[in-house]
Chains A and B, each alone.
Chain A
């Protein structure tokens, strides 16, 4: 009997979301008096998982490309092998793709977007976001096997001193009639899902040609870039950058909103971010009511100054 965590990787390297999910799994394993097993696919170095409380790693090398059904099948078989009652996944795009399929396979209850360790173990109750971060919902899972999807950047990383033992795991997996044709992914850019800092801009920027300074500010901060809905609808920026209720949720440490007035849908989408900074010419913009720090000023004057000062700060604190 152990808690099972799916620890996600990209090109053989474990992602930050994997260590967060492991940290969360370790907390549950401790409170239920069990061990923590991680399942990985094609990870070359699994030793770091021990630093986040994983006791045992089942590494699968027989699967070439990501396929939600094949991954769900493998995780299901790992859960059965480990006699698992609680499975932890992250809130990444791939984890959210796998989890519902896994839930049907295991007759398990699944709750995504969980932000804290369980409030109760019996009945098993977790706190999750709902209504796009406009509320939290305490949800009970009544099935014997339970699947928890942890929100990114909510529980955080908790280091441990353990060492993880790795074994190769080679379940017999069903074939899928779905295959990957191509992947289009910028390798050098921080993604909104993984970023510690997100720099976001809105219609206040006046046109797509003015995004150079936004990208430069993001570069200085090691941040991902994002935008408001009107900006993506106007085609100034790609849809993948649209954050808000119908776009992507942002749960980052620092969110900087430039020239975004703060429509309720946008504020909901970013409200899980820990610290919010707003830069806007209009002191009455609703975003000022939702932000921690604000600058009333013209983005075209404030942003270049911020870039210059941050460069100095980064050089001094490097």
Chain B
């Protein structure tokens, strides 16, 4: 009798665990895509003067996909960002979109490895079933955080992910490859490097007033970082050399365009 009761307890626990998938969405706080990029302090620092910050677009697709898991499969969503207090506006926006709780690791990070280590520290403790990050952040374009995180967590990993379905502990994910796409079958725990396709641009959500009000009451926990080391360091920046003026060719003189591309630019 006791054994039967125990079995029932265990099986219901497993059921609950599967039904309530725990998702961690990693959010990078990045300059808006329209930002003009400038540097200060002798071209050694990014100049954030006048720059508007947003949720990294690749992360936002992931957050929206996570919302679908929450609404259709009863998942819970924590969002996390590594950075100073300025990143909290972005985390609050993620809460207003619908995440349940936010975590900020209060650290300044010299590279992607350091970010991944901070995320791994939190992810290990939270035993998440699914971690969604963007395939890359649009500032440093490193594209290394999700893969490093997966390797540190010993989790499965799919990057450039454009479709994700999860049933129980089985996942089917499609990734973009050069010239096509590839569908993979894998298991939780899983780390995803997401991008557009995970959801469409038109599926993205703008927080409404109710969401914004509710976000104020949701927990935003600030964690002091565990010390870690980086492997790389940005030393200095440079802007691309400005190019010469465009050479205009008359619309009725296409021969001249072909001549220029062949003889001057030597590209055809």
Contacts and interface: CB of A to CB of B under 8 A. Distances in A.
A associates with B: yes
Interface of A: 66, 68-69, 72, 92-94, 96-97, 99-101, 103-105, 107-113, 125, 127, 129-143, 176-186, 189, 191-194, 196-197, 221, 233, 239-240, 242, 245-247, 253-254, 264-265, 271, 274-275, 277-278, 288-298, 301-302, 305-306, 309-310, 313, 317
Main secondary structure of the interface of B (DSSP, over half): mixed
Contacts of A112: 141-144
Nearest to B120: A104
B261 A193 contact: no
8 contacts: A107-B231, A140-B233, A192-B179, A221-B268, A246-B138, A246-B195, A254-B268, A264-B36
B266 to A, nearest CB: 9
Given A103-B148, A130-B234, 9 more contacts: A100-B116, A182-B183, A254-B265, A254-B267, A264-B33, A277-B261, A288-B248, A292-B244, A296-B248
Interface of B: 31, 33-34, 36-37, 39, 57-58, 111-113, 116, 138-148, 150-152, 156-160, 162, 172, 175-187, 195-197, 200-202, 230-240, 243-244, 246-251, 254-255, 257-258, 260-262, 265, 267-268
Contact of B141 (A129, A176, A178, A278): A129
A257 to B, nearest CB: 12
A60 to B, nearest CB: 20
A182 B173 CA distance: 11
Given A93-B176, A177-B187, A184 B181 contact: yes
Q: Which 6 A-B pairs have the closest CB atoms?
A: A100-B147, A297-B251, A185-B180, A109-B231, A191-B179, A104-B151
A129 B138 CA distance: 11
A184 B174 CA distance: 10
B231 A264 contact: no
B119 to A, nearest CB: 13
B225 to A, nearest CB: 19
Contact of A183 (B33, B36, B177, B247): B177
Contact of A294 (B116, B142, B175, B246): B246
B39 A179 contact: no
Contacts of B262: 313, 317
B17 to A, nearest CB: 18
Contacts of A265: 33-34
Contacts of B139: 130-131
A135 B180 contact: no
A137 B142 contact: no
B58 to A, nearest CB: 7
Given A68-B157, A135-B39, A109 B138 contact: no
Nearest to A178: B186
Contacts of A306: 254, 257-258
Contacts of B57: 245-246
Contacts of B231: 103, 107-110, 141-143
Nearest to B187: A177
Contact of A245 (B36, B138, B201, B247): B138
Contacts of A274: 265, 267
Contacts of B146: 100
Contacts of A179: 184-186
Contact of B157 (A69, A105, A192): A69
B179 A189 contact: yes
B235 A292 contact: no
A182 B180 CA distance: 11
B184 A99 contact: no
Contacts of A240: 176, 180-181
B178 A275 contact: no
A93 B135 CA distance: 11
B179 A309 contact: no
A277 B257 CA distance: 9
Contact of B151 (A100, A129, A181): A100
B154 to A, nearest CB: 10
B232 A139 contact: yes
Contacts of B267: 196-197, 253-254, 274-275
A99 B230 CA distance: 16
A132 B202 contact: no
A305 B254 contact: yes
A42 to B, nearest CB: 16
B234 A138 contact: yes
A103 B144 contact: yes
B150 A180 contact: no
Nearest to A309: B254
B258 A313 contact: yes
A292 B186 contact: no
B258 A100 contact: no
A125 B267 CA distance: 31
Given A133-B240, A197-B267, A178 B138 contact: no
